């Protein structure tokens, strides 16, 4: 089974100038912990709730004055729609992430979440193992 078979195609993303407050509101609306950052639909970064807490709140920053370009991660772990879902599960486990952007020719085309893997019963053990590793902070 390929990533395209289980990914979510409609993905909320923001531009580099979006404020941290707007990103946090989007995370709340979508009930997610990370949001892709795109410029002209090209994926250029990702921001997590942890980025906001550690790089802005804990640092005493003003959430209204910080935009995601100031704190986003540019080292993006992503998959293509044609990759096997087992590869996606392995990447989630290895890099300790719950959501992987799906990219084709630099463009964001979807997101595959750990929950998407769990829906496919054949992958339930892999998704469970990946989630367990992520929750425990295990590194392989």
Closest CA to 46 of 65, 18, 25, 21: 18
Confidence category of residue 140, pLDDT binned at 50, 70, 90: very low
Q: Does the pLDDT at position 63 exceed 80?
A: yes
pLDDT tens string 64-107: 889 999 999 999 999 999 999 989 988 988 898 889 999 999 99
Place of tokens 């795109």: 38
pLDDT, position 9: 93
How far are the Cα atoms of 43, 46, 84, 121 from residue 39, in angstroms, in the given order? 7, 12, 27, 36
For the cut 90, the answer to whether the pLDDT of residue 119 exceeds it is no
**pLDDT at 125 exceeding the cut of 60:** no
Just give the CATH number of 3-136.
3.10.580.10
């Amino acid at each position: 089974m390929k990533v395209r078979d289980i990914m979510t195609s409609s993905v909320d993303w923001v531009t580099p100038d979006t404020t941290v407050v707007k990103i946090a509101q989007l995370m709340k609306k979508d009930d997610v912990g990370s949001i892709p950052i795109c410029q002209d639909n090209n994926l250029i970064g990702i921001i997590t709730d942890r980025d906001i807490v550690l790089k802005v709140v804990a640092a005493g920053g003003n959430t209204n004055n910080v935009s995601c370009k100031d704190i986003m991660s540019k080292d993006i772990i992503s998959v293509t729609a044609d990759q096997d879902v087992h590869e996606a599960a392995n990447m989630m486990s290895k890099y300790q992430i719950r959501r992987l952007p799906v990219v084709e020719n630099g463009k964001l085309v979807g997101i595959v979440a750990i929950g998407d893997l769990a829906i496919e019963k054949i992958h339930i053990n892999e998704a469970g193992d990946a989630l367990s590793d992520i929750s425990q902070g295990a590194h392989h």
